[in-house]
Structure 1
Amino acid sequence: MNNLFSALITKRIVATVSALLVIAIGCVAGVWQLNRAETKIALAANLLARQQMPILNANAGPVSLEDARERRMNARGQFIPEAAVWLDNRPRPIPPAASAVSQSGFYLMMPFRLEGRDEMLWVNRGWAPRNTENREALPPVKTPASVVNIEGIVFPHPGKVYELGDSTPAVDTGKPRIEQNFNLGIEAKIHSWSQSPFILREVEAGIDDGLLREWAPLTNGVDRHYAYAFQWFALAFSGFLFWLISGLRQYWRRGVVNGDQG
């Protein structure tokens, strides 16, 4: 037993340390992926619970982000299309089943003047595909000119993408605003108006306006995290097996050479 221990470990320090490193990395990364999956599942359960609470009314009075976050909300008012912001590099929330390639497009952020209140509510109206040949050729979208009722779910922001630097948008009334990210504080300073401290992500209501509102569930990607976790644990197990088998083969070869086979 001592000879076996020596052959596997003390005479193979570099191989042992390398194997331990691979095993540690694989196990840590696998556990991290499992935690990511469990976090998404918990967030989705919390979102579902909050959506089952009574529907809020944006026109009834001021509502804080803490009270409204991830809850359903109704609003009545009028869209302000000339102040719209197109958020670039946004993948289609739920790609078509026949397509394995993510399609890039825009989120259309548009202010909504609340009826009976001197307040704006920013609305994520939905997703539209981008023109691959001309970035500034925006997709055709219909915007009602009259007062309408909308329904959605409250979020603190429409989601963020990686952006180099902290750019402040320059408002040019002659061109549509195409931005990477959306900041409620910056919009309030640009327009000097009172606005709700959250955005409303509009839900699908059978409106044919050129926008898609098939939002991906928060559990989207959970299966991928489980698959990644399996791969990391498999890597750790493979590292252990490689270390063990190579050590045993070396031990047996040394036994044959030294005449210990009996």
Structure 2
Amino acid sequence: MNSLFTALIAKRIVATVSALLVIAIGCVAGIWQLGRAETKIALAANLQARQQMPILSANQGPWTLGEASERRMIARGQYIPEAAVWLDNRPRPIPPAGSTNAQSGFYLMMPMKLEGKDLVLWVNRGWAPRNNENRETLPPVQTPNKVISIEGIVFAHPGKVYELGSGKPTAYEGKPRIEQNFDLTIEEMVHGWSQAPFILRELEVGVDDGLLRDWAPLTNGVDRHYAYAFQWFALAFAGFIFWLLSGLREIKRQNSGNRYRGDQE
């Protein structure tokens, strides 16, 4: 067996190197996909554990990002709708059943002036679909014109998408702001107010305000990572099998040729 593999390698250097390259790429990519899946599972477990901790109150702060990150929080105050930011190119968190295409839309980021405090809290109120015919036609959303209480989960930011340009906020004169990404530091400089160092992603509270809040779990896509890992490992295995079978056929062909020449002599 050792002599056979030695012959397969020695007589087919280029094919062997090519096969090793395919096998290495397949194994490394497969292991990376498994790592991605495990990372998501660990993050989801950590998030669930932090959500089991006592609920914080934004009005009783101040809270740092480290103290509040990924924990449940309640907040009482009044929205400032004229300062809202619509984050574009955001897919619907959980597509409808049977749908294969991710519907594009907006996250509505809206500041809330906390009751009894000189502090603003940015809230990701939810997702709404985009008008495909006119990008600047925003979906109808209802905003309470009074002090309300909300509950959500604390995050450092609402998620980022690829953006061309400087990323500075666009100046709108009397028009809603449509941005690709959201930066708390920039918003604080633009408005000149004191604000919490995190955003609150509002949970579903059964209010029909035109926004969806069926947020995707952090483990979303884990099965896809496992499927990709299987494909990469299958590629590595196929590369090895192809190298082995093609080599065996070549050796068999050479042996047949040698026997034929021997009979001729």
Same fold (TM over 0.5): yes
Cα distance in 2 between the residues matched to 1:148 and 1:42? 34
Cα distance in 2 between the residues matched to 1:193 and 1:130? 30
Matched-pair identity in %: 76
Contiguous gaps of at least 5 residues in structure 1: none
**Is 1:10 aligned with 2:10?**
yes
Tell me which amino acid in the other structure corresponds to 1:39: T
- 1:228-255 Cα offsets, whole Å, 9 max, x none, are 0000000000000000000001011111
Cα distance in 1 between the residues matched to 2:3 and 2:130? 68
Cα distance in 1 between the residues matched to 2:2 and 2:121? 74
Deviation of 1:22 after TM superposition, in Å, equals 0.1
The CA RMSD over aligned residues, in Å, is 1.4
Deviation of 1:2 after TM superposition, in Å, equals 7.1
1:7, 1:250 within 8 Å by CA — same for their partners in 2?
no
Cα distance in 2 between the residues matched to 1:61 and 1:11? 73
Contiguous gaps of at least 5 residues in structure 2: none
Q: Please, what TM-score do these two structures have when normalized by structure 2?
A: 0.96
| Corresponding residue of 2:210 | 210
Tell me which amino acid in the other structure corresponds to 1:7: A
1:1-262 correspondence to structure 2 within 5 Å: 4-259=4-259
1:88, 1:105 within 8 Å by CA — same for their partners in 2?
yes
Deviation of 1:172 after TM superposition, in Å, equals 2.0
Deviation of 1:6 after TM superposition, in Å, equals 4.7
Deviation of 1:169 after TM superposition, in Å, equals 1.1
Cα distance in 2 between the residues matched to 1:46 and 1:233? 29
Corresponding pairs, count = 262
Partner SS for 1:259: helix
Cα distance in 2 between the residues matched to 1:64 and 1:231? 43
Q: 1:82 to 1:8 in 2, by over 3 A?
A: same
Deviation of 1:7 after TM superposition, in Å, equals 3.4
Tell me which amino acid in the other structure corresponds to 2:88: D
Q: Please, what TM-score do these two structures have when normalized by structure 1?
A: 0.97
Cα distance in 2 between the residues matched to 1:10 and 1:219? 47
